[in-house]
Amino acid sequence: MKHGKNGTWIKVLIASVCVAFLILLSFRIHYVNATAVALPNIEKYSMNEWVVLDGAFLNTRSENTQGYSMRATKAELLSYNEYIEKYGLDKSKKMEGFDEKSLVCLEIEVKNVGNEEGRILVFECKLIPDRKNTYFIPSTVLWAESESGLPEDGTARVLQIKADSAYTVHIPYKVNIKDMEGLTEYKTPMKDTSFELVVSNSPVRKVIVIKL
């Protein structure tokens, strides 16, 4: 009889431990679900298709993109010198040895309806190749060569146009290297041909599929 009572006690103990474990597991699952970072919805657009930003932003809501729309109308594989020749204001700024096709130049149209203060953080619009293990960034120094209103030192980070207007820009994307002396980013061949251009991250991630 004594042995039977011990066996029953052991079974009760095991059952109690199992119940406690299940309770702890359910609390853990609830905690993970409650604290998990929700991934934003992703909207994909084709080239020549207008992307209505509608307040969607890259970093913060203060970008105030309400009323802004944009689309990519052309993608070109260019060298530094070809960019200067096609879009530069001063054609004499071409440099010897910078003929490697190292850039993806995007022709982007932007519209602004009724927004006096909003802007697009162009520098944060990353160009991500299909392989997903890196990203390309705008060459703001080279971009400044095509726009008279941009600072020549390449500190331009935003695109802001007047309310109820439209504008077209040609933004050169390069490898994510900053070599102020050798400028090796303009000597590194661009081998990718398919990309996603990120134009907003939250509350909706909006990307434009780019094909060369």
The whole-chain average pLDDT of the chain stands at 87
SS3 72: strand
Query: Could you tell me which CATH number the domain at 41-211 has?
Result: 2.60.40
Express each pLDDT in 111-147 by its tens digit.
999 999 999 998 899 999 999 999 999 998 899 999 8
Paired residues of 77 in beta bridges: 104
Strands in the chain per DSSP E: 41-45, 51-52, 68-79, 101-112, 127-129, 136-138, 165-175, 194-200, 204-211
The residues spanned by each domain of the chain are 1-36, 41-211
What pLDDT was estimated at residue 147? 87
DSSP code, position 153 = T
Express each pLDDT in 158-191 by its tens digit.
889 999 999 999 999 999 988 877 789 999 999 9
What pLDDT was estimated at residue 30? 56
Rounded to two decimals, what is the model's pTM? 0.79
